[in-house]
């Protein structure tokens, strides 16, 4: 992958983040307590999507993006560019808060199709593979976050559909929280958040302790969401955890990768930052939807 791709990924994220913060300044000023963080949920999703988009345009994406498409899909060269355009369109909608009902519905559908066409078949082929389950549930949580927002914006026109979308999103995050929480307890030396298997960096003190803390938060939040007990706070706690990890773990990992100068390491760092930020935004989107129906 060319070094310029990393530059465009970082630049896209920064531009969308600054634009979103400027547009949200009045809402952020008026919000109180945890509502300030919840207000940022859609922006976090938009920034992460914007960061991912340039990677799909670079030589039609890395080889793994092209090979992920099912073998029966035609014109395989077309899909990375198409997904890149979809990501930018959704990022723009979420950042500007325009056409939200349409964009979040379609964004959730895209992630749901990823799960059905790519990740669920992978799980069926590798039933005992923890990474396969982790990645499938990660994208399902992205779908849940988008559809939680769609449910929020569907509330007036289709209250029953809105209710089902938010229920689906709550149950998805319940499953994700419980599964990820258990994984953190079994593998506390993994970098926490979405437990993809990245080892905790050596510069982090007491690495196992942070894995156990993240696991406890995720597991307890997942159980609360499953039982519908303080669901809004549970979703907010997942979002707050992922936001903190983005700022204080994955962003420093990215900065250190830039100092090292490896193009591949920088790309991995950007992807971990965007991945964790998207997970945070999805959880906060659910919190926002739950606040409207509680």
Q: Which pLDDT does position 243 carry in this prediction?
A: 98
Q: Which pLDDT does position 70 carry in this prediction?
A: 77
Q: Which pLDDT does position 23 carry in this prediction?
A: 95
CB distance 17 to 43 below 8 Å: yes
Helix (H) or strand (E) holding 84: helix 78-96
Measured at the alpha carbon of residue 66, what is the angle toward residues 63 and 68, in degrees to the nearest 5? 105
Q: Which pLDDT does position 294 carry in this prediction?
A: 46
Q: Which pLDDT does position 169 carry in this prediction?
A: 98
Average pLDDT of each block of 10 consecutive residues along the chain (294 residues)? 85 97 94 94 98 81 63 79 94 96 96 96 94 97 98 88 95 98 96 93 93 97 97 97 97 91 90 97 97 56
Rounded distance between C-alpha atoms, residue 20 and residue 2, angstroms: 28
Q: How is residue 254 written in tokens?
A: 């990215």
Grouping H, G, I as helix, E, B as strand and the rest as coil, residue 287 is: helix
Q: Which pLDDT does position 63 carry in this prediction?
A: 57
């Amino acid at each position: 992958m060319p070094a310029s791709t990393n530059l465009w990924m970082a630049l896209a994220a920064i531009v969308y983040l600054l634009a979103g913060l400027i547009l949200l300044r009045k809402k952020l000023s008026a919000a109180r307590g945890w509502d300030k963080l919840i207000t940022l949920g859609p922006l976090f999703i938009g920034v992460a999507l914007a960061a991912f988009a340039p990677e799909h345009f670079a030589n039609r994406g890395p080889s793994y993006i092209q090979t992920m498409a099912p073998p029966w899909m035609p014109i395989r060269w077309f899909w990375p560019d198409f997904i890149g355009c979809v990501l930018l369109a959704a990022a723009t909608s979420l950042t500007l808060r325009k056409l939200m009902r349409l964009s979040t519905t379609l964004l959730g559908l895209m992630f749901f199709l990823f799960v059905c066409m790519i990740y669920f078949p992978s799980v069926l082929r590798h039933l005992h593979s923890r990474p396969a389950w982790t990645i499938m549930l990660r994208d399902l949580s992205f779908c849940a976050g988008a559809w939680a927002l769609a449910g929020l914006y569907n509330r007036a026109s289709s209250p029953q559909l809105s209710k089902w979308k938010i229920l689906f999103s709550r149950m998805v995050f319940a499953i994700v929280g419980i599964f990820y929480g258990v994984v953190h307890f079994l593998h506390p030396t993994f970098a926490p958040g979405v437990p993809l298997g990245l080892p905790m960096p050596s510069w982090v003190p007491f690495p196992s302790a942070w894995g156990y803390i993240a696991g406890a938060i995720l597991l307890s939040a997942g159980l609360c969401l499953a039982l519908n007990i303080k669901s809004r706070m549970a979703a907010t706690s997942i979002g707050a955890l992922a936001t903190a990890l983005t700022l204080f773990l994955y962003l420093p990992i990215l900065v250190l990768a830039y100092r090292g100068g490896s193009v591949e390491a920088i790309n991995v760092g950007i992807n971990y930052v965007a991945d964790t930020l998207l997970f945070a935004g999805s959880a906060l989107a659910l919190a926002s939807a739950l606040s409207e129906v509680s």
